[in-house]
Chains A and B, each alone.
Chain A
């Protein structure tokens, strides 16, 4: 059983990276805002949430805060992205459904995951670490679009 864990690091395709940085909410939010300003393609919902479509291979900044995942993202199927995630306030749980990828998100820490969306379906981000009264309404979206549009 032990053998499987290092083996999967070498041969398996699903490993959490070891890349993480110390950050502050202000510094992180500034980077996310810059990305939103540059790549927003439209807004959605009553709150006019920005939908951001960053170029493949780029750094994508996802903000976890009470109680939303911000901004909404649009990624190309089969392309890789460097997905950064950090919390602005309390602890949150990144849970991507229905594909079912889960990670713990902490304030002050910036986690970097290189992900390659290989499903055609768009995914919903839900929060699975209890974060107060609005916890169950904390959702976000990753739209998946076919390559070359």
Chain B
């Protein structure tokens, strides 16, 4: 390999392989374009479900909601993830990217897939929601677009794996691959499983939609589809946890408390999360309780345990790093003195808190066989997954972007004061939004529903006033969060296309050095524990974890109590 194909970022020291760099930029730009489109649909959906506004007519609402689901949950996240995969292999391992031409083929397939799928929905004959449950039919191009996109993403995964092989052969690193790359590898393995499941169900569904296959069993479709649908969210979790570790290292120079524990936790994801997809089928006919309990207890708990390990070690490592810098007063000085004005950090920390407290707790509670009876398909479910996917994944990716703009695009981050508040507007807006949706769902408000007032229904139903209030709060908080999303896109687009190059004399904007503080940490005598308290290296994090478990147990108990009040059935 000739040396001139590489450049070294003077500030971060990262080494970029030029063909890989162009691929990363293209994927990141495409992802942000999809996010913009998804954000517009988000606004329309939010304004329709806000009862006082009720913006769109019914057919348009279902169409836009379908677009919102496929673009946000599938296209935006997976496209950004391919960029992250290339970064975590080629850049972090200082290695050339394997077969850049095939990577471009993958990119083209993804782009074509997005266009084919979205035009089917925009045409108006594929308003079937992201899940496209058979036997509700969609225009065949809806499935075809998804299949093309998936093949493109699969090529990206194989190129990531190929790059790991290249790095090993050419000895560009020593020992094991870094933890962040390991997390990306986890995401990649899950992605391969996910895409394979998607092929198993979407290819027959495509053939069914063009009339080649007669019948697709509804229960089988749900079982296999959720191996795609849930696992794809697991790619996100693995990827955004990898981003958390990366940001802790970038901003604080933090090192994981225990590499081994963190790696084992990533491995638990691979081993168990796919099976936990069963929690989508808890109130389906034809599956036994034994099957449901088995698949949602041992499997899901071990995967949740893995998330709790990450949720503990990431702030724990930050605490240790901060204490080593001298922020040792009390339990929480390390946290108070964290760089809250730096969007790379604030976004990542809000992502961690929202994902754990809101997304994590609600996920385990609703994944309980019997409790699912009072939650299934209510708007509680979107409440839950907006906490995991939007606060967890999207916000983590946003905060990483602020780091990537100077490092990957060589531009200063423009509008720094807006960039500073963006994670708060987006993160806190989404937190209120998700909590309000979960509250409304507890009152029985349905998801994917145009009219909670049942104005045109032959038999009406009145939700309590509190349900309307909660949906109104969700509407307002949703709009605030969308505004936060708009600021993100504005800052990103302005910086990338019109920003001052890094290294020019101008003083406005964030540069790499204002976004990172990766001075090496001097471990005090006596190891990490010496800077901690009561023999703990990270006592503040430990206390937070105890608080988390308390909230968890309380909320779990409340839901059983609520369940006990509904009709007896067996």
* Distance of A138 Cα from B450 Cα, bound (Å): 11
Contacts A4-B560, A104-B284, A117-B567; A95 near B459 (Cβ below 8 A) = no
| A100-147 CB contacts (< 8 Å) to partner B | 100-111, 113-119, 124, 126-133, 135-141
> In this complex, what residue of A is CB-closest to B562?
A100
* Distance of A1 Cα from B364 Cα, bound (Å): 9
CB <8 Å contact, A93 and B377:
yes
Q: Taking the complex as formed, is B564 at the interface, i.e. its CB lies under 8 A from any CB of chain A? A: yes
Contacts A130-B62, A139-B454, A141-B459; A100 near B370 (Cβ below 8 A) = no
Residues of chain A within 8 A (CB-CB) of B507 are: none
Residues of chain B within 8 A (CB-CB) of A2 are: 293, 297-298, 301
| Residue from A13, A99, A100, A124 in contact with B459 in the complex, judged by beta carbons closer than 8 Å | A124
| B446-501 CB contacts (< 8 Å) to partner A | 446-451, 454, 456-461, 463-464
* Distance of A113 Cα from B368 Cα, bound (Å): 19
* Distance of A111 Cα from B368 Cα, bound (Å): 20
Residues of chain A within 8 A (CB-CB) of B134 are: 91
Q: Taking the complex as formed, is B568 at the interface, i.e. its CB lies under 8 A from any CB of chain A? A: yes
Interface of B is mostly: loop
Q: Taking the complex as formed, is A148 at the interface, i.e. its CB lies under 8 A from any CB of chain B? A: no
* Distance of A102 Cα from B456 Cα, bound (Å): 22
* Distance of A15 Cα from B566 Cα, bound (Å): 11
Residues of chain B within 8 A (CB-CB) of A108 are: 217-219
Q: Taking the complex as formed, is B526 at the interface, i.e. its CB lies under 8 A from any CB of chain A? A: no
Contacts A99-B567, A113-B569, A119-B567; A5 near B377 (Cβ below 8 A) = no
Residues of chain A within 8 A (CB-CB) of B459 are: 45, 72, 124, 139-141
CB <8 Å contact, A14 and B566:
yes
| B158-213 CB contacts (< 8 Å) to partner A | none
| Residue from A6, A110, A132 in contact with B285 in the complex, judged by beta carbons closer than 8 Å | A110
Q: Taking the complex as formed, is B357 at the interface, i.e. its CB lies under 8 A from any CB of chain A? A: no
Question: Least Cβ distance of B443 to chain A in Å?
Answer: 8
CB <8 Å contact, B454 and A99:
no
CB <8 Å contact, B458 and A46:
yes
Residues of chain A within 8 A (CB-CB) of B285 are: 20, 103-106, 109-111
Task: For the complex of A and B, list the 3 residue pairs with the smallest distance between their C-beta atoms, beginning with the closest.
Answer: A111-B285, A20-B285, A128-B446
**Footprint of A on B, CB under 8 Å?**
58-59, 62, 128-129, 133-136, 217-219, 222, 281-289, 293, 297-298, 301, 364, 368-370, 372-378, 442-444, 446-451, 454, 456-461, 463-464, 556, 560, 563-564, 566-570
A and B contact pairs by CB, cutoff 8 A, 12 listed:
A12-B564, A14-B370, A14-B569, A17-B570, A47-B458, A93-B376, A100-B378, A105-B285, A118-B567, A129-B448, A139-B457, A139-B461
